[in-house]
Amino acid sequence: MPIPNLKTPGTYLGVNINTQRTGLPANVQKVLFITNDDQPETTAMPISIYDKAQAESIFGSGEVPSEAARMITAAIKTNRVVDVQILGKYPAVT
């Protein structure tokens, strides 16, 4: 014989154990890298970078990989979904 569901006055908490979790909450990691590479003159704000090729096209200036490209490569190896922004040196006004 089942026990009847009797409730007395107070606070009630119902937990549905039949539903399944849909996943963990997003763990968004944001990183700001400050490099010695020259910042493009069009902006003085950090630039969102998504891969090494984009970092090279914006901050690269020669055969040697830029600091920004090396930093984004290391960040992606550590965490594939990291949100990276890079701020370079603002060119000196002469």
Please write the tens of the pLDDT for every residue from 3-18. Answer: 666 666 776 666 666 6
Residue 63's pLDDT is what?
79
Total-model pTM: 0.64
* pLDDT higher than 80, residue 24: no
| Mean of per-residue pLDDT scores for the chain | 80
**Which residues, 6 or more positions from 33, have their beta carbon under 8 angstroms from its beta carbon?**
68, 71, 72, 75, 84, 85, 86, 87
Q: Contact at 8 Å (CB) between 73 and 56?
A: no
- Tens-place pLDDT, residues 36-74: 988 888 888 999 999 999 999 988 877 788 899 999 999
Residue 69's pLDDT is what?
92
